[in-house]
Amino acid sequence: MDRQNGIARQHDYTYIDTPQRVGYFAEQGWLVPVTATPDFTLHAVSFPFARPEVELFLRRLGAQYRRACGEQLVVTSLTRPATRQPHNASARSVHPTGMAVDLRYSWNRTCRRWLENVLTSLERQGLLEATLERSPRHYHVALFPTQYSTYVETLAASQVASASEATPSPAVASVATASVSTTSEATISGTTAYLVRSGDSLWTIARRHGTTVDDLRDVNGIRGNHIVVGQLLDVPVGS
C-alpha cells in the first residue's frame, strides 16, 4: 500500500471522492471510458472509467488472456469514488485514483495459472502490484502508469524495428509489385505498423497514410477515438 500510494503521489493523482467528480474527470480526459471487447467484459462495474494506461493494459491483457485460455477476462471494478468504496476496502485503496482494476478469479486452472504468471512477471518488472484478495476472491491490480506506458512503448518500438527489417528494399518491392500492376485497377492490400506519438490522433494518422478513420478503427478493433502514446497500430496501406 505504501508503494501504491507513493506512485499515486508521484503522478499527482487526486483521490476522487464522489460520483460527480468521476464524471468531471472523464469530461476533462483524465479518465477514459472502458468498454467491453471480444477479449474482456465488465461485470457490475459501477464506474467504467480508468486512467488511459489502465485501459491500454486491459486491452492488451484481455487479448493475450483469451488467446492463452479461450475465455474472456472479467473486470469487476475500476475507478471507485471514496464515498462508494465497499465496507471491507482499505482506507488507503488507490481505486479512487483510477489506477486500479479488479479482475475476476477464474476457476479454470489453465486460465488462472496463466494470469497469475503474467501478473507476477509484470510485478517483478516494477510495472504493477497484484494481490489475490479473498473476500470475494479476485485479483486486485494497481498499475504504475509511467512505468507501464514506457514498457509498452519500448516493446512497440522493438516490434516496429523488427517489422522494418523484414520489409523488402524498394528495389525488391518494385519488382514484386510490377507483376501485379498490369491494369489501372490492380490493388496491393496490407498494413504497416505505426507507433503512436505524442500529438497523434486517428484523423492525423489516417490522413498521413491515405486511409480513413473508420478503416483504422476496423483493423485495430478500436471503439471511439482514444489512442495512447506507445500504442502500436496496424495501418491499411496501398491502393
**pLDDT tens profile 67-86:** 999 999 999 999 999 999 88
Cis bond upstream, residue 86 (ω within 30): no
The pLDDT of residue 166 is 61
So what's the pLDDT on residue 238? 57
Task: Give the CATH number, domain containing residue 38.
Answer: 3.30.1380
Q: Is 24 in the same domain as 67?
A: yes
pTM for the model stands at 0.70
**Length of the chain in residues, anyone?**
239
Co-location of 194 and 137 in the same domain: no
SS3 228: coil
Q: Is residue 149 part of a domain?
A: no
For residues 132 and 194, membership in a common domain is answered with no
Q: How many separate domains does the chain show?
A: 2
Any bridge partners for residue 124, and if so which? none
Q: Could you report the per-residue pLDDT of 14-71, keeping only the tens digit for each? A: 999 999 999 999 998 899 999 999 999 999 999 999 999 999 999 999 999 999 999 9
- Residues 105-133, mean pLDDT to the nearest whole number: 95
Residue 139 and residue 66 in one domain: yes
* Structural domain boundaries enclosing 195: 167-180+187-236
C-alpha cell at 105: 478469479
**Closest C-alpha to 59, from 227, 208, 173, 235:** 227
Q: Which residue has the higher pLDDT, 160 or 128?
A: 128
Which amino acid, residue 175?
A: V
156, part of any domain: no
The pLDDT score that the predictor gives to residue 186 is 28
Give me the mean pLDDT over the 137-141 stretch: 95
Calculate ∠ Cα 72-74-78, nearest 5°: 145
Other Cβ atoms closer than 10 A to 99: 25
**CATH value at residue 226:** 3.10.350.10
